[in-house]
A and B are shown apart, each in its own frame.
Chain A
Amino acid sequence: MSQPPDIRRTVDAVWRIESARIVATLAKMTGDLGLAEDLAQEAVLDALQQWPESGVPRNAGAWLTAVAKRKAIDGWRRRERLDDRYRAMANDLAQTTDADWQPIDDDVLRLVFTACHPVLSREAQVALTLRTVAGLTSDEIARLLLVPVATAQQRIVRAKKTLSAARVPFETPEPNEWGPRLSAVLGVVYLLFTEGYAATSGERWIRTDLAHEALRLGRVLAGLLPREPEAHALVALMEFQASRFAARTTADGAPVLLADQDRSRWDRTQIARGTAALERADAVGRGRASYGLQAAIAQCHAIASSVDATDWERIVLLYEALGRLAPSPIVELNRAVAVSMATGPANALRIVDRLTSDGALRGSHLLPSVRGELLAQLGRTDEARSELLTAAGLTANERERAVLRAKAAALVSPEL
């Protein structure tokens, strides 16, 4: 089957814009997200065949939804023993027309929560969210996740089967489950972003395409959940971090660390959008939780004209708050870096050494790389070099390894 390439691209663009609403409408109707996605994909195939001749319909989303609904009805009618439920649904549907398509935000929200349902693995949640909510093709998902297309397809198929096997209803969570379920949804988006922001694998250190998808998903979520401060705060956090993209790599793709970045290349309009999103989060009036605090920290960096001009005392306070709310060795390590800037490397080293003796972050390059920096500042050069080389041996990112090795090589032993 071959179509003119521009029709493929147009259909992909329509899918990207409309998929969440189409799949949500169909899932609400059938109660089955997997079936809904299959029906929508069949409608997409029809579009690829018909649109080159008929032209792109004025309301392409309604067209795809109507075609998919007809396929659902036909499928049910073909079954020999049609139960009453499906018969009633088929009759209802047969009476509605294309013009009746009124996508409902609540259905899209059900879609988001179902795609990130806790019966699914993180991998499956990510793949299904990218497919149905973000409207990406399997090829695009494979490219973003750096896996073969067959693997991406398989993850989606398995995710749909799991939802079906676990009889997961197409619903938003009950109030008593709301908090953890919302965290899971936001977690999927932020995972995508961080993988784009500091890629743990691959040759490039920043993968802006992935980060941009995450930002778009975050904005969609904040639009669906205007009363959830953490949804706005997540958008703010991602806007602040993404504002540094242009400055975070050299022309040939090597990473540039915060202290060495040319701050004139930070995207000011993006910082302004981050500030606006954080204001929306604060305006809800429920205080700052984990993403809110992280966004506030990112904002401190974004508005500072230099490393020295940064309000490090405030950053230390924000990390302390974050550590109490969501204790983690990564937060502790970041607090150590902020403490070193606010009050010097000796205090920071005490925090890092406590982490080391706790056995935290074992196997990660982060702890030795920070420890190496602090030791270098304290003039303990030989120990610093050894830590930096340990860190270089532990990172999976080639660009980052090169930076750590260069730092180790640049250390000059004090004259004896």
Chain B
Amino acid sequence: MKFMLIMRSTAEAKAAYENVDFEQIINAMGAYNEELMKAGVLLAGEGLADDLAEAFVVDFASETPIVTDGPYGEVHELFNGFWILEVASKEEAVQWATRCPLGPGSKLEVRRVTDMSDFADFADNEFLQKEEGWRDEQQARQAK
């Protein structure tokens, strides 16, 4: 089963990091990522840029989606990176998540990634089939 580790940091965490040698942070994260890789559980992972000028939010509250600058005006926790791990159990995900070298002000939200079995009841769904047809078309185009 796959789990996503979603990293969230507050201003407190950001301030704390400013007092630490950035290379030290890179080394700690690097060692953690290496451990995940060596254990054969890391499927994917990316960090997100914290330059808010490159970020925006799309709000679907009204009929026309509204685009506003920056991530979440009022929310204090910034989603700033993720890992996807393939593990055998939720407990194993807990073990890996708690080893992540993060400090006060940082949190990991961990969620199971859905797979085909989550949608087994909808295998005949007309829209899922349509989507597959669309994907075929895309692939045929890419192959040319």
Contact = CB atoms under 8 A, between A and B. Distances in A.
The finding on whether chains A and B are genuine partners in a shared complex, rather than unrelated, reads: yes
A304 B135 CA distance: 14
Contacts of A224: 38
Given A223-B38, A223-B40, A13 B139 contact: no
B143 A305 contact: yes
A269 to B, nearest CB: 7
A246 interface: yes
A71 interface: no
Interface string B60-87: 0000000000000000000000000011
A264 B138 CA distance: 10
Contact of B132 (A105, A217, A223, A265): A265
B16 interface: no
B126 to A, nearest CB: 15
A254 interface: no
Given A264-B139, A304-B143, A13 B91 contact: yes
Query: Chain B at the A interface: mostly helix, strand, loop or mixed?
Result: helix
A80 interface: no
B116 A246 contact: yes
A120 interface: no
Interface in B35-69: 37-41, 43-44
A10 B91 contact: yes
A220 B89 contact: no
Interface string A312-341: 000000000000000000000000000000
A17 B43 contact: no
Given A17-B39, A217-B40, A223-B38, A264 B92 contact: no
Contacts of B43: 269, 273
A264 B40 contact: no
B28 interface: no
B31 interface: no
A384 B34 CA distance: 53
A9 B136 contact: no
B89 A12 contact: yes
B94 interface: yes
Nearest to A269: B44
A292 B106 CA distance: 42
Interface in A226-275: 246, 251, 262-265, 269, 273
Question: 5 shortest A-B CB distances, which residue pairs?
Answer: A219-B40, A264-B135, A305-B143, A216-B40, A13-B91
25 contacts: A9-B89, A9-B91, A10-B91, A10-B95, A13-B87, A13-B88, A13-B92, A13-B95, A14-B95, A16-B88, A60-B95, A212-B86, A215-B40, A216-B86, A220-B39, A220-B40, A251-B123, A263-B139, A264-B135, A264-B136, A265-B116, A265-B132, A269-B43, A304-B143, A305-B143
Interface of A: 6, 9-10, 12-14, 16-17, 60, 105, 212, 215-220, 223-224, 246, 251, 262-265, 269, 273, 304-306, 309
Interface of B: 37-41, 43-44, 86-89, 91-92, 94-96, 116, 120, 123, 132, 135-136, 139-140, 142-143
